[in-house]
Amino acid sequence: MSSPPSFTFSSPTSSATRRRRKSAFTYKQLSTLAASSTSCPLRVIAHVDLDAFYAQCEMVRLGVPPDQPLAVQQWQGLIAINYPARKFGLNRHVPITEAKKLCPELICQHVATWREGDAKWAYHEDSFKEMATHKVSLDPYRLESRRILALIKEVLPAAPVQRVEKASIDEVFLDLSAQVYRTLLERYPILKGPAPYDDPTEHLPRPPTTALDWAADALVDLDKEETEEDEPDWDDVAMLIGSEIVRNVRNAIFEKLKYTCSAGISRNKMLAKLGSAHQKPNSQTVIRNRAVQQFLSSFKFTKIRNLGGKLGDEVVAAFKTDTVQGLLEVPIERLKKQLGDDTGSWLYSVIRGEDTSEVNPRTQIKSMLSAKSFRPSINSFEVGVRWLRIFVADIFSRLVEEGVLENKRRPKTVNLHHRQGAQTRSKQAPISMGKAVDEDMLFDLAKNLLAQAVADGRAWPCANLSLSLGGFEDGITGNKGISGFLVRGDEARAMLGVPGESNDGGRTETPPLNKRRKVDDGRIGKFFATRHESTGGSEREHELDDEFYQPNETAAVEEEQDAFVPPPSAQRSPPSFDPAESSKAQKSPDTGQTTPANREDVPVILHPRVIDSYFCDRCQQPLPAASTGEHEDWHFAKDLQAQDRDSSAESAAVRPLQPAPRSSMPHNKGRGRGRPPGQTVRAEKGQKRLAFG
Ligand code: TTP
Ligand code: CA
Ligand code: CA
């Protein structure tokens, strides 16, 4: 650890004092800290990552002493190795027999599994032999992950000061800015102002502090031109406060739940994440602003968040280097030319330690998946159905936790993916809005989809089967059905002051709101849109982060399937892939579209005072903004009706398709509540309605 900076006051007339009388930061910049602004130069972000997470879960569950080597086994592979076992040279690549030779006292605990026919997962003895009839359950780890997350939220001040983003099953980002701001003002009332001349662009006074006590933190070495004798400025003080907060959080996790974790504290997510991995286990690393370049230059850029996958490979191939140092020499124009404007600029900033991505506290799940790979492949409907039973039970227990029984949240679609050779195909069906979601209903839908796959004649031999639910939304609670909100046609328009058909005749020139997104070069926009969804790991129950890899073939097969099944066609960037969303993007967008011609049937949701309006591109008319959700729900209900009407029993399924056109790929996700699958975008010119099953 480096020694803390010292600070002495000298004569007020010396030039040194004049230099340091002012901080580099202004009153205005300080005020943006309170709002957790992503452009604030004083912001403090932390990344917390559990040490050897699954292994710790098993140690806590079994009461294993902290120095006992333990690894978590999945069939014939190891997927998590605790730190005492790592001392023996064990890692995920080491085969179990080898691991036991290297470390004879190693405990190999197999993950919990669902056994065919059982109503719940359990820890079964000898389950590693049962790959053919059992399916891995990650529920125990998911549950521990939730307990830890809940504790973190309890320790921190309430929202909006608290900003916590779950990034994967064992990691979170914390935006500590607002809390740090509060503490700064408490400890240094001088910062309350007012600014000289009431001018917020005035610089703050320097911190009246002589030394910062970094306690047991690992401090990253300073940049070349900096020395520890340089006086601290407010960014250093802010980091110190952030570091205290993180220490408290980590202590609480250990005291209450007996888990150790590591953390990184810095000015943004990218640096914080690199920091948490810097000194594992059980320690925290602070990367002060004055140490950023030094810290980053020691890395391969492929270690940086979002550069671990295909994008990183592309950059290595293009610029013939994998180091940050090497890439720093490439001018921004070349980066842009090679990678597109957005990617190029993003990369240019990131390797210079800049990252303005926000800590996103959304925690709601958007999809859930349960899957299994088969070795050997399965060949009959009956066997497939038995697995569907397990998938449904697995997913339903998670649905219950999501509040589906109380209708707090509900999924809109069910998707079945099945792999035959290298081909993964999908079938999708809507979940009827009117009915309660229960296990039997999901099982019936799933069976139907499998029956359709079988009827297509391309189901067997099946190497992988998965079931996912998508399009989760807040359910309607209380007794207001959709129709309770609706008033019809001209009456509604009159009340809203919306012009009738006679005077707004043709189509408007204004593009509908959801068409106004900037269309970029199709790479990074797509990439980031998807990352954005996936970094809120809790939105999906396939908790993966971009470092997730499978070192061991045997472990790989099952982990991939139990957590996540990217069809081969989707294995390019974006690095995370949501099968549910993919099927949406592939689906025909042409069902039951309401056209301007029949719009007098369109109900409008009335609000007594209409202030803001939005333009519904399907009705081609403005509506009160506050009613967007309900209105889109109405479209959704209509679409389902239309589907029910004009399709046979097989109508809900879609044939596997070629990749969707770029413009309809997943960056269209999340545009609006109530938008049914396949309605995300309109048909491209020349795109036909797709034949059903
Ligand atoms: P990681 O955080 O990558 O690893 P870890 O927590 O085991 O170890 P570290 O102390 O280095 O952070 O992954 C979290 C859990 O995810 C891990 O305990 C097991 C699971 N996992 C797999 O099942 N397969 C994998 O390839 C990886 C990387 C993780
Ligand atoms: Ca971890
Ligand atoms: Ca992790």
Atom of ligand 1 lying closest to residue 74 CA: 23
- Above 70 in pLDDT, residue 610? no
Lowest mean pLDDT among 32-41, 396-405, 510-519: 510-519
Q: What does each C-alpha distance from 91 to 87, 94, 98 come to in angstroms?
A: 10, 6, 11
Q: How high is the mean pLDDT of the chain?
A: 74
Read off the pLDDT of each residue in 72-96 and give the average, rounded to a whole number: 97
Q: Are residues 349 and 398 in the same domain?
A: no
C-beta 54 within 6 A of ligand 1: yes
Read off the pLDDT of each residue in 499-517 and give the average, rounded to a whole number: 32
Q: What is the pLDDT of residue 633?
A: 61
% residues pLDDT > 70 (the chain): 65
Q: What is the pLDDT of residue 373?
A: 92
Q: Are residues 310 and 345 in the same domain?
A: yes
Q: Are residues 353 and 265 in the same domain?
A: no
Q: What is the pLDDT of residue 12?
A: 38
User: Does a structural domain hold residue 215?
Assistant: yes
- Quickly list DSSP for 286-325: E--GGGHHHHHHTSBGGGSTT-SSHHHHHHHHHHT--BHH
The CATH number of residue 342's host domain is 1.10.150.20
Q: Buried b vs exposed e over 267-297: b needs ≥16 C-beta within 10 Å? A: bbbbbbbbbbebbbeebbbbbbbbbbbbbbb
Q: Are residues 163 and 281 in the same domain?
A: yes
Last residue of a domain, one of 137, 169, 203: 137
**Is 273:46 a contact under the CB 8 Å cutoff?**
no
What is the Cα–Cα distance from 362 to 43, expressed in whole angstroms?
20
The CATH number of residue 79's host domain is 3.40.1170.60
Q: How confident is the model at residue 145 (pLDDT cuts 50, 70, 90)?
A: very high
User: Does a structural domain hold residue 460?
Assistant: yes
- What string of H, E and C letters represents the secondary structure of 454-470? HHHCCCCCEEEEEEEEE
Peptide bond into 95 cis (omega under 30): no
**Is 79:72 a contact under the CB 8 Å cutoff?**
yes
Atom of ligand 1 lying closest to residue 550 CA: 26
Q: What is the pLDDT of residue 334?
A: 97
C-beta 549 within 6 A of ligand 1: yes
Read off the pLDDT of each residue in 231-259 and give the average, rounded to a whole number: 97
What is the Cα–Cα distance from 609 to 618, expressed in whole angstroms?
23
Q: What is the pLDDT of residue 125?
A: 93
**542, containing H or E segment:** none
Q: Describe the chain by its helix, strand, coil percentages, rounded to 5.
A: 40, 15, 45
C-beta 51 within 6 A of ligand 1: yes
Read off the pLDDT of each residue in 56-71 and give the average, rounded to a whole number: 98
Q: Are residues 42 and 64 in the same domain?
A: no
Token pair for residue 401?
């936790």
Q: How far is the CA of 261 from the centre of ligand 2 (A)?
A: 8
Lowest mean pLDDT among 280-284, 290-294, 435-439: 435-439
Structurally, how many domains does the chain consist of? 6
> Which residue's alpha carbon is nearest to atom 7 within ligand 1?
52
487 or 16: whose pLDDT is higher? 16
Q: Are residues 221 and 148 in the same domain?
A: yes
Q: Are residues 154 and 278 in the same domain?
A: yes
Q: What is the pLDDT of residue 357?
A: 95
Q: How confident is the model at residue 624 (pLDDT cuts 50, 70, 90)?
A: low
For the chain, the first-to-last Cα distance in angstroms comes to 65
**Is 159:183 a contact under the CB 8 Å cutoff?**
no
Last residue of a domain, one of 234, 267, 288: 288
Q: How confident is the model at residue 241 (pLDDT cuts 50, 70, 90)?
A: very high
Dihedral pair phi/psi, residue 638, rounded to 5°: -60, -45
- Above 50 in pLDDT, residue 679? no
Q: Are residues 33 and 154 in the same domain?
A: yes
User: Does a structural domain hold residue 333?
Assistant: yes
What is the Cα–Cα distance from 644 to 637, expressed in whole angstroms?
11
What is the Cα–Cα distance from 567 to 581, expressed in whole angstroms?
12
What is the Cα–Cα distance from 309 to 155, expressed in whole angstroms?
34
**215, containing H or E segment:** none
Read off the pLDDT of each residue in 481-510 and give the average, rounded to a whole number: 35
C-beta 449 within 6 A of ligand 1: no
C-beta 79 within 6 A of ligand 1: yes
User: Does a structural domain hold residue 173?
Assistant: yes
- Name, in order, each residue with C-beta under 8 angstroms of 572's C-beta and a sequence gap of 6 or more: 310
In which residue are the tokens 């010396």 written?
Answer: 14
> Which residue's alpha carbon is nearest to atom 21 within ligand 1?
79
**50, containing H or E segment:** strand 45-50
Domain hosting 334: range is: 299-363
Token pair for residue 605?
């949701």
Q: Are residues 283 and 329 in the same domain?
A: no
What is the Cα–Cα distance from 22 to 13, expressed in whole angstroms?
14
Listed residue (217, 232, 204, 241) closest to 289, CA to CA: 232
User: Does a structural domain hold residue 506?
Assistant: yes
Q: Are residues 28 and 122 in the same domain?
A: no
- Cβ-based neighbour number of residue 67 at 10 Å: 9
Q: What is the pLDDT of residue 673?
A: 31
Q: How far is the CA of 509 from the centre of ligand 3 (A)?
A: 48
CA angle 152, 272, 201 (to 5 degrees): 100
What is the Cα–Cα distance from 267 to 265, expressed in whole angstroms?
7
Last residue of a domain, one of 343, 363, 383: 363
Kindly state the DSSP code that residue 347 receives in the 8-state scheme.
H
Q: Are residues 158 and 275 in the same domain?
A: yes
C-beta 261 within 6 A of ligand 1: no
> Which residue's alpha carbon is nearest to atom 12 within ligand 1?
51
CA 425 from centroid of its chain's CA atoms: 25
* Mutate which of 79, 261, 552 for ligand 1 pocket (most atoms within 8 A of beta carbon): 79
Q: What is the pLDDT of residue 651?
A: 33
Q: How far is the CA of 171 from the centre of ligand 3 (A)?
A: 5
- Total number of residues shown for the chain: 693
Q: How far is the CA of 167 from the centre of ligand 3 (A)?
A: 8
- Above 60 in pLDDT, residue 690? no
Report residues near ion ligand 2: CB below 5 Å: 49-50, 53, 170
- Name, in order, each residue with C-beta under 8 angstroms of 653's C-beta and a sequence gap of 6 or more: 427, 428, 429, 449, 452, 692, 693
Q: How confident is the model at residue 19 (pLDDT cuts 50, 70, 90)?
A: low
Lowest mean pLDDT among 218-227, 286-295, 414-423: 218-227
User: Does a structural domain hold residue 572?
Assistant: no
Kindly state the DSSP code that residue 172 receives in the 8-state scheme.
E
**271, containing H or E segment:** helix 269-276
Q: How confident is the model at residue 36 (pLDDT cuts 50, 70, 90)?
A: very high
Q: What is the pLDDT of residue 2?
A: 40
Q: What is the pLDDT of residue 547?
A: 24
C-beta 280 within 6 A of ligand 1: yes
User: Does a structural domain hold residue 534?
Assistant: yes
Q: How far is the CA of 282 from the centre of ligand 2 (A)?
A: 11
C-beta 93 within 6 A of ligand 1: no
CA 382 from centroid of its chain's CA atoms: 36
Q: Are residues 401 and 543 in the same domain?
A: no
% residues pLDDT > 90 (the chain): 56
User: Does a structural domain hold residue 653?
Assistant: no
